[in-house]
Structure 1
């Protein structure tokens, strides 16, 4: 069963992924490391995780999957 994440949580995950990819290309960028830490904190402290669904590994995996899907749909030409 697919979970329903709030759009702001999916957007934050998308930003986290983009930042992680940028950091992988240029590993010695302190500003990217700080941004990644900030986004990680925002994801971890999001109110969604306080709901009855819990912080399971499956939920985090599904969040990443939905963020990647949203990213690929946005990049796809119309």
Structure 2
């Protein structure tokens, strides 16, 4: 987080929040719909997903993580 905000003026940081909220809303909607393609659109290709069960690096591993979650919880929403 510090790197994200480093060197920014307070008003610049505030303008990042709507984008973060929009991304969160997009990810939750995709997750609730079990739409893996839309979920992956919320992660960068070289992104890292850290969960209590481990770390997934890159789209392939992130996709595998969500596939297992969706398979294990077909009604999760």
TM-score, length of structure 2 as denominator length: 0.34
Rg larger in structure: 2
TM-score, length of structure 1 as denominator length: 0.33
Structure number with greater CO (CA < 8 Å, separation at least 6) is: 1
Name the one with the larger strand percent. 2
